[in-house]
Each structure stands twice: as C-alpha cells, then as structure tokens.
Chain A
Amino acid sequence: MTRLLLALLIALSAATALAIEPLPFRDAAEEARFRALIAELRCVMCQSQSLADSNSMIASDLRREVFDLMQQGRSDAEIKDFLVERYSEFVLYRPPLNPTTWLLWFAPALILLGGAIALVRVMRRRAAALDPTAPRGPANQDTPEDW
C-alpha cells in the first residue's frame, strides 16, 4: 500500500513540471537562468501564476520574449526592467522591497505578532483569575466559585 502511495506521489510530482514549450537553449546554465527568471515574473493574464506555471497565450509570448532578450545578451535586471516598463511593477512576481510594498512584506509578521501579544495578555489574565493567592479585587471577581 505504501509502495502504491509512493508511486502515485512520484507520478504526480511530474505534474508540477514547467508548462513551457521547448526552447533552443545553448546550455544547461542558460536553461537554469531562464527557469529562475520566469519563476519570478507574473503571468499578466492568469495573475496568481508565474510565467513558469501559466498556460495562457500571453505567458507563452512573454516566455518567448524573455528568451529572445536573454539571447540578445541582456541581464536579468534589464529583462525585468523591460517588462516593468511595459506592464508595470505588477509583472514582478516577487514584489520589490520599497516603501510602497513595505506593508505587503511585513503585514503578516506584524499581525502574527499582534495576535501573539493579545494571546499572552488573555492567558495572563485568565491565570490571574484562577490563582487563589492573588489579591481579590474588582478585576478578579469571576473565579470558578462565582459561577
């Protein structure tokens, strides 16, 4: 049974292989650079996918364009600039870290921190309420006996 599951898992992992058409790369290094680059660019039509993952027509066209630009000798930064000039910064799948995207990058961590702080405070208050040796005052009235 585990063998079957393992076989299935391996077979399905091939489904995440890049949906790209074969392009005439000069060598493996060029292909690796191409794949890294298209994983960092967004498909402008299917906008939650990278150029590497998307099957749409425009993604295919843009992959071809990235390949041609690479052949022309442009650097990764130049290729990204080329596309940002035409499609806006949204085409970068990995948003750059600058004042406008600061909140985008750090908001999840900040919210997590806020949640953790709130949790600690609630737990402290609960612990104080259940502690029989704590001074009894208006804040500590809701002990189990009162229910």
Chain B
Amino acid sequence: MQRWLPLLAFATLAVLLFAGVRLSGQRDPNALPSPLVGRQAPAFALPDFRNPERIVTNADLLGAPYLLNVWGSWCPTCRYEHPIITEIAEQGLVKVVGYNYKDEPEDARRWLQQFGDPYALIIVDRDGRRAIDWGIYGAPETFLVDARGKVIFKHAGPVTWDIVREKLVPLLQKEAAP
C-alpha cells in the first residue's frame, strides 16, 4: 500500500487540476458572483442619453422586464457582443436598456452611429458613481431585471448566444407565464 501512495496522490491531484481546467472553460473564473441577484435593483436617477434634461428613475422602468446592458465606447469587447444585443432587441425578446458607463457623450454618439443603436432607452452614468450600487466593475456587463424591479440575473463579460439560450430565455419565459 505504501508504494502506491505517491501514485495515488499524483492521480488525485491530476484529477483535481483537470476538473479545474474544464470548469474554467465553462465560466469565467474571474467573474464575481453578484449579491444583487434576488434583490431589488438599486435606486437611480440618471439622465436619458437622447434627452439629457429628462431624468430616468427605477419607477419609470417598472411594469415590464428589461435587460440592462452596461457599455462604453472605450470598451472593445462591447463591440463583439453588440450584434447579439441588437438581435435580442430586434427579435423583441425583452426591452433592452443601455447603461452608458464612464463615457463621453460625443464618443458614445459616434459609437452608436458606427455599430447601431438597438436600445429602447439609454441612461448615462458619466462618472460611474451609480454603477457602484449595481456592483458594476467594468464593461460589458448585463443585468436582467423583472417587471417588479427585482434583479434576476447578472452576467459580467460579453453576452453570448449560449447565455441567451440557457439563461435569458428560460428566465424570461418564467416571467411571462407566472
């Protein structure tokens, strides 16, 4: 038994490391779990991108679920996920609200002109202070908020079709059929 011990220890370690490699391929190990899921969305009062005089609050968004997509013109990965976000909006899966994070209005305008503007509404967080309440630490990040204002899903990183299929669609179906 003694002579098998080193081999056993090595085999255990190998299995653990292999499992770790497989797991990290499935989800980003650096993405933080969001303590916001299951809680009411944080209160905010931020200007409307298209009409900066108008202030948008949580109350304005109650009544229907929405996808909050955090983006900025400075964020390269946002360009990769933008076609998917656009498709979600165009297919009418859910209302898509843009959260313009730490951006300059002119740069954001140009970015939307270049890559398309599928957002039903865009709210602007210029200095990123309100974003801290959402636990946002970069872009892209995406939240799914239900009709009653509760956060039911958060994803840090670009939205992929897998996430749409496996997470967003089931959650939205559950929302639609109580």
Residues in chain A within 8 A of chain B (CB atoms): 44-45, 47, 57-58, 61-62, 65, 84-88, 90-91
Beta-carbon contacts under 8 Å, B85-138 to A:
102, 127-129, 131-135, 137-138
Q: Is A58 within 8 A of B35, CB to CB?
A: no
Give the dominant DSSP class at A's interface.
Answer: helix
Q: Is B132 within 8 A of A62, CB to CB?
A: yes
Docked CA distance A102–B58 (Å): 40
Tell me how many residue pairs across A and B have CB atoms closer than 8 Å.
38
User: Would you call B172 an interface residue if the criterion is a C-beta within 8 Å of the partner chain's C-beta atoms?
Assistant: no
Apart from A86-B133, A88-B34, 4 more pairs, CB < 8 Å = A45-B138, A61-B131, A62-B132, A86-B35
Give the dominant DSSP class at B's interface.
Answer: loop
Q: Which of A58, A85, A86 has the most CB of B within 10 A?
A: A86
User: Would you call B32 an interface residue if the criterion is a C-beta within 8 Å of the partner chain's C-beta atoms?
Assistant: yes
Other-chain residue from A65, A88, A91 in contact with B129 (beta carbon distance below 8 A): A65
Q: Which residues of A contact B35 (CB under 8 A)?
A: 84-88
Q: Is B30 within 8 A of A47, CB to CB?
A: yes
User: Would you call B36 an interface residue if the criterion is a C-beta within 8 Å of the partner chain's C-beta atoms?
Assistant: yes
Q: Which residues of B contact A86 (CB under 8 A)?
A: 35-36, 132-135
Q: Is B137 within 8 A of A58, CB to CB?
A: yes
Q: Which residues of B contact A90 (CB under 8 A)?
A: 32-33
Other-chain residue from A57, A61, A84 in contact with B132 (beta carbon distance below 8 A): A61
Q: Is A61 within 8 A of B32, CB to CB?
A: no
Q: In chain A, what residue has the closest Cβ to B5?
A: A118
Q: Which residues of B contact A57 (CB under 8 A)?
A: 102, 128
